[in-house]
């Protein structure tokens, strides 16, 4: 399978989408075939910048199945935005509903239609008919279901006018592929479920006479982006810690996340899907892994790593039968995977930062000259060794 090939040769992911598709099954996307299954699995954990590159390839290069590839990429964005995604058909038939995708969350459902261009007139009646059929089958409800047309270009004036003049105006919205990707990019920088909920609500039709809802979104997102956890921790070093020297070794947290996921899959024999920036879950949704990353700091006698752990992360991990906090320490060669049941008991003896709109625990790991690792417990003084949780 393509994921196994990429694990052994990570540089493969830098190939063109056409070359990568050729590594999936027989290289031809058809409804329900092995190629479609492998290709969709491949998309589940690639970096979001790769999603953007692949989308551009689909829009700028006329290769076989480019429209089908774009359809899968758009549905993968929906999954990463937090929706339960049902992939649509590549080619419709008389016996099945022809929507390109279906995105469902706790409150709303979106019937997805993907178009590379709006040059050709789109039948809004036909698209809404998909929604009606899904309602009749009991898959979605009438009140909170909408049509979302994803278009490969930003100049959609003609299509907008067509929708405004139709009877489906209050059930149909348009978004460009670029804007949809920007929505995902913003979500990837965040981990707060409340902010993510506000972001995904952008897709839902609502009138703009009262602007409070838009202002809430802009304010909440800017607050979360300006309060990056690692920056907060670095500015809160106390007097005893100011002598620390930051290790200047460069690393990319998102690449760490992917490499850690590969290690987890080898270790547990599970396949993991990305839920948010740092949360991954097994395909059966029983196992949750929170992957958090720290730069390395040095003192004379130890190496120090700082992390921020948030209440909403605690709440997310509580939803899994088995959960771990995976602490990457400066490189992908030094990773500790601590059972959440144990990690949670240590929170009471960690320092916290609290303000009107946020709270987080300061998780601090110290590794001494004997390579023994401890989670520090400053409020009790009884540091807890975690050396036996090192991921080999």
For the chain, what is the domain count?
A: 2
208 and 254 both lie in a single domain: no
Establish if 53 belongs to a structural domain. yes
* % of the chain surpassing 70 pLDDT: 82
Asked whether residue 41 is domain-assigned, the answer is no
Instruction: Write down the pLDDT at residue 217.
Output: 65
Last residue of a domain, one of 196, 224, 252: 224
Domain membership of residue 216 (yes or no) is yes
The reply to whether 216 and 244 lie within a common domain is no
Domain final position from 171, 189, 224? 224
Is 5 inside a domain boundary?
no
Please answer whether residues 340 and 324 qualify as being in contact, where contact means their C-beta atoms are separated by less than 8 angstroms. Answer: yes
Instruction: Identify whether 20 is part of a domain.
Output: no
* Residue 80 confidence (pLDDT) above 70: yes
The residue from 202, 224, 246 where one domain ends is 224
Question: In CATH, what number is assigned to the domain containing residue 98?
Answer: 3.40.91.50
Shared domain for 176 and 279, answered yes or no, is: no
In a domain, 33, yes or no: no
164 and 289 fall within a common domain: no
Q: Is the pLDDT of residue 206 over 80?
A: no
Q: Answer yes or no: is 2 within a domain.
A: no
Same domain, 232 and 220: no
Residues 285 and 379 in one domain: yes
Q: How confident is the model at residue 233 (pLDDT cuts 50, 70, 90)?
A: very low
Reported as a single tens digit per residue, the pLDDT across 348-389 is 999 998 877 678 899 999 999 899 999 999 999 999 999 999
* 269 and 314 inside one domain: yes
Query: Between 167 and 311, where is the model more confident?
Result: 311
Answer yes or no: do 117 and 236 share one domain.
no
Residues 318 and 240 grouped into a single domain:
yes
Which domain covers residue 288, as residue numbers?
228-389
Residue 8: inside a domain: no
Q: Based on the domain organization, do 178 and 232 belong to the same domain?
A: no
Mean pLDDT of 132-160: 85
**Looking at the structure, do residues 246 and 214 belong to the same domain, yes or no?**
no
The answer on 240 and 303 residing in a single domain is yes
């Amino acid at each position: 399978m393509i994921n196994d090939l990429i694990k052994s040769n990570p540089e493969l992911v830098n190939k063109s989408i056409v070359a990568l598709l050729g590594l999936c099954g027989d290289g031809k996307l058809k409804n329900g075939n092995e190629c479609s299954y492998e290709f969709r699995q491949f998309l589940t954990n690639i970096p979001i910048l790769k999603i953007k590159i692949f989308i551009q390839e689909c829009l700028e290069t006329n290769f076989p199945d480019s429209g089908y590839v774009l359809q899968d990429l758009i549905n993968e964005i929906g999954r990463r935005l937090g929706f339960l995604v049902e992939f649509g058909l590549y080619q419709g038939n008389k016996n099945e509903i022809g929507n390109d995708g279906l995105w469902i969350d706790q409150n709303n459902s979106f019937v997805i239609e993907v178009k590379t261009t709006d040059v050709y007139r789109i039948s809004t009646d036909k698209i809404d008919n998909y929604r009606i059929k899904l309602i009749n089958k009991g898959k979605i409800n009438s009140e909170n279901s909408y049509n979302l047309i994803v278009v490969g270009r930003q100049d959609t004036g003609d299509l907008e006018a067509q929708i405004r003049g139709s009877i489906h105006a209050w059930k149909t919205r348009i978004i460009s592929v670029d804007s949809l990707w920007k929505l995902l990019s913003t979500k990837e920088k965040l981990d707060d479920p409340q902010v993510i909920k506000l972001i995904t609500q952008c897709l839902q039709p609502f009138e703009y006479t009262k602007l409070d809802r838009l202002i809430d979104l802009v304010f909440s997102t800017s607050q979360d982006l300006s309060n990056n956890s690692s920056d907060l921790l670095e500015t809160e070093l106390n007097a005893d810690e100011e002598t620390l020297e930051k290790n200047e070794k460069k690393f990319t947290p998102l690449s760490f996340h992917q490499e850690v996921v590969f290690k987890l899959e080898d270790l547990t024999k599970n396949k993991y899907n990305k839920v948010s920036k740092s949360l991954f879950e097994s395909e059966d949704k029983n196992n949750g892994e929170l992957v958090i990353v720290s730069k390395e700091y040095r003192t004379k006698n130890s190496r120090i790593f700082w992390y921020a752990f948030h209440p909403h992360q605690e709440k997310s991990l509580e939803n899994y039968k088995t959960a771990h906090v995976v602490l990457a320490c400066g490189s992908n060669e030094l990773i500790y995977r601590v059972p959440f049941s144990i990690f949670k008991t240590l929170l009471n003896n960690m320092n916290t930062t609290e303000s009107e709109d946020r709270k987080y625990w300061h998780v601090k790991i110290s590794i001494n000259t004997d390579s023994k690792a401890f989670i520090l417990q400053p409020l009790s003084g009884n540091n807890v060794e975690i050396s036996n949780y090192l991921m080999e």
